Structure 1
Amino acid sequence: MDIDKFPSALMQTIGFSQVLHTSAEPGSARVRFVARPEFAHSNGAVVQGGLVTAWLDCAMAFAVNAKDPTASLASLELKVSFLDRAAVTTFEAEARIVRWGRSVVFLEADLFALDGRLIARASSTGKLLRAAA
């Protein structure tokens, strides 16, 4: 896994912590994020949904990278369901490839609190980008 492929400033901004696991087949990744107080609203109690969405989107990009390190991902569509509040703490996102096409990929990701509670679920359609040969 080439973590340098992911922009370090962006990863730091969204609270990326570490890659816990990746698998090339079928294409999956589990990554950790740490929410900081400045991510929260409601008197600092709830992480803003855009950051939760960024975590899920990022995890799906890691799943794509696990399957094909030469490919990049451009999200075409992204749906997120927020199932529980995300407090200012540590989370793990687990992403997987549902269907891999020549130029389009279908993905899913779940965000978990460390106690196992499901916080959010996402599905996405992405465009696979590859460098010109």
Structure 2
Amino acid sequence: MTSVHPDFAHLAAAAETLSDDHLVERLRADAPDAIKTLNGHLLSLDTDRGVARFRFEIVPAFCHSGGRICQGGFLTGMVDSAMANAAIAKSKFTAAVPTLELKISFFEAMGPGIVFAEGRVMRWGGSIGFLDGDLRDEKGRLLVHATSTIKIVRPKAK
């Protein structure tokens, strides 16, 4: 991999001059397909700290057990999206951040409804980063906690 993730290449040059609120507006206007598929909506970014918050809507098509319980892979995708966006934001949209390792802990079942994901950069190194994230329901109950190790892939100098 020799460049930024293609979903965010158009933001790399502007990220240094745009505020976090303007970056959120740009990302909402051109959301990646994975976020759209998960019915996601970016709420906020903090590029200095490396934090991203999302709202997701769980629909019956994501659920099993008669539509009552969201399949864990969808929940994983939601919290992983928040963590990845936190890392990409921390890089000011200049690095790709492929996952090397992902650990998910499921605390509560969730059916159709609204959930909130927050991803955070815990440690940002030269080539490796450590992330964590949570998924909560509208009442604030912790549904999922995740940790992730990522490879920080910066563009190669030409």
- Normalising by structure 2, what TM-score? 0.77
Q: CA deviation at 1:20?
A: 1.1
Of residues 58, 61, 66 in structure 1, which corresponds to 2:81? 58
State whether structure 2 residue 99 is matched by structure 1 residue 99. no
Q: Which protein shows a greater Rg?
A: 2
Letter paired with 1:15 = N
Please name the residue that 1:13 is paired with. Answer: 37
Please name the residue that 1:44 is paired with. Answer: 67
Of residues 58, 70, 73 in structure 2, which corresponds to 1:35? 58
State the 4+ residue runs in structure 1 displaced beyond 3 angstroms. Answer: none
Please name the residue that 2:99 is paired with. Answer: 75
Q: Does the residue aligned with 2:146 lie in a helix, a strand or coil?
A: strand
* Alpha-carbon distance in 1 for matches of 2:74, 2:39: 9
* Alpha-carbon distance in 2 for matches of 1:85, 1:132: 43
Q: RMSD over aligned Cα, in angstroms?
A: 1.6
Q: Does the residue aligned with 1:71 lie in a helix, a strand or coil?
A: coil
Letter paired with 2:53 = R
Please name the residue that 1:26 is paired with. Answer: 49
* Alpha-carbon distance in 2 for matches of 1:20, 1:63: 12
Q: Deviations over 1:65-114 (max 9, x none)?
A: 22111112100000000000111111110111110001110000000101
Letter paired with 1:105 = G
Please name the residue that 1:120 is paired with. Answer: 144
Letter paired with 1:71 = A
Letter paired with 2:90 = K
- Normalising by structure 1, what TM-score? 0.91
Taking only the aligned residue pairs, the percentage that are identical comes to: 39
Q: Which runs of 5+ in 1 are unaligned?
A: none
The structure where strand makes up a greater share of residues is 1
Letter paired with 2:58 = A
Letter paired with 2:34 = L
Q: Which runs of 5+ in 2 are unaligned?
A: 1-22
Contact 1:74 1:127 in 2 (8 A): yes
Q: CA deviation at 1:15?
A: 2.0
